[in-house]
Structure 1
Amino acid sequence: MRLRSELPAFEGVTEWINGQVSKEELKGNPVLVHFWSVSCHMCKESLPQINEWRDNYEKQYGLQVIGVHMPRSEKDLEIGPVKETIAQYELKHPILVDNEHAVTDSFQNEFVPAYYLFDGEQQLRHFQAGEKGLKMVEQRLHKILGVTEA
């Protein structure tokens, strides 16, 4: 996806966990879409940071976090281990299971972990992939939310 691209709709989802959300419901709020996979060690390492952002910025700044489980292998298609990982890491935000890669394709995503940050007008403001991307995402997130460092 190119910067300033519009947030794609979440269509072709295999299953929603922790509630379903539509693109329309997200209007006016900044949105972080986080692609991850149950078989990705780096992805699991980033989950506590995703939870922290959700907890710190949802009430005050309206940040909405959407997880996308993107299977990387045949084994990743099993819903049970995905649900176990969600429970283990206390992921409370909506997570969609994308076994058919419909959402993955609409984002033109090839990576896990991957982070897509949209502003309140649903325009892509930042994309980052890989384990070292968290700091870059956090800096951009602070800029979009207007968070000032203490």
Structure 2
Amino acid sequence: MGFSYWYLYYSFKHDNKVKNSIPYDKYGSLLKKINTTFKGDVRDYVFYKFINLNLNAVINTYEEFKVAAKNTLPYLGNINSTLYQNELITLINKKEYELGKYKIGDAAQAFSLVDNKGIKHTLSDFKGKVVLIDFWASSCAPCREETPYLNKLYERYKSDSRVQIISIAVRDRKDAWQQALQHDKPKWLQLFDGDGKTSNYFTNAIPKFVVLDKAGLIINLDAPAPSNADKLETIIKTQIEKDK
């Protein structure tokens, strides 16, 4: 049945190539394709694998989740397996609880963390600044690939008192984090979260980039990576220019 799951993506890609277009709602379109392409136990399996993967590893914000959940719920009744149905309902409820804690416009979760020099920093220290938070880990290759781009961003804004860039190491060992800093030599503020104090900011994979406004409100919970500099800087500049 595992082959059927990957066949879904192959056939979806083939259909879009023939039509020369990609649907705006890829998630909803794939749910529809699963429902019409597969039958019986195979359909149950593909529904389960697809929904599980997307809710656990792809969907990052409450806004994305609400759209996905709205698309998903009508298809749950087409799953014959009670076990799959119950597990997916539990997952949807859990995901809504996790992502619902922090939404765009909410006050950012306060934290107090120590930097690589042993100095404690709290989120309130940066009130009045646009804050970009980078969540990463020393063992995360995609995270560390963003370091050169973060360095360029830091060089651009290091003299601008209106902007603060912070990297927070999560799901990491302190010794591994310190070794990574010695190797990569980032110049901006580096904090270590060994106790999961900031875990509510991200429920899925890292790297994860979050933007807060000058009042400490969440502006973007899934901001573009620094390697996508134009899009990220547009968000930062928009917030800088507000309330001049």
Q: TM-score range by the shorter chain?
A: 0.7 to 0.9
1:112 aligns with 2:206: yes
| Counterpart contact for 1:35–1:111, Cα < 8 Å | no
Q: Which residue of 2 aligns with 1:121?
A: 215
SS at match of 1:2: coil
User: Hey, what's the Cα distance between the residues in 1 that align with 2:202 and 2:143?
Assistant: 18
Mind listing any 5+ residue stretches in structure 2 that lack a counterpart?
Answer: 1-101
User: Hey, what's the Cα distance between the residues in 2 that align with 1:123 and 1:4?
Assistant: 6
Shift of 1:118: 0.9
Which structure shows the higher strand fraction?
1
Pairwise mapping of residues 17-28 of structure 1 onto structure 2 (< 5 A)? 17-18=116-117, 19-28=119-128
Task: Give the TM-score of the pair, scaled to structure 1.
Answer: 0.77
1:33 aligns with 2:127: no
Q: Which has the larger radius of gyration?
A: 2
1:47 aligns with 2:152: no
Pick closer, same or farther for the CA change 1:38–1:129 going to 2, 3 Å: farther
Q: Which residue of 1 aligns with 2:107?
A: 6
User: Hey, what's the Cα distance between the residues in 2 that align with 1:130 and 1:104?
Assistant: 19
2:178 to 59, 80, 83: 83
RCO higher in structure (CA 8 A, sep ≥6): 1
Pick closer, same or farther for the CA change 1:27–1:102 going to 2, 3 Å: same
Pick closer, same or farther for the CA change 1:123–1:129 going to 2, 3 Å: closer
Shift of 1:29: 0.7
Which structure shows the higher helix fraction?
2
| Aligned amino acid, residue 141 of structure 2 | H
Instruction: Give the number of equivalent residue pairs.
Output: 138
Task: Give the TM-score of the pair, scaled to structure 2.
Answer: 0.50
Q: CA RMSD, aligned part only?
A: 2.4
Residue by residue over 1:24-59, the C-alpha shift from the partner in whole angstroms, topping out at 9 and shown as x without a partner, is 221111111110011111100101111221221131
Q: Which residue of 2 aligns with 1:144?
A: 239
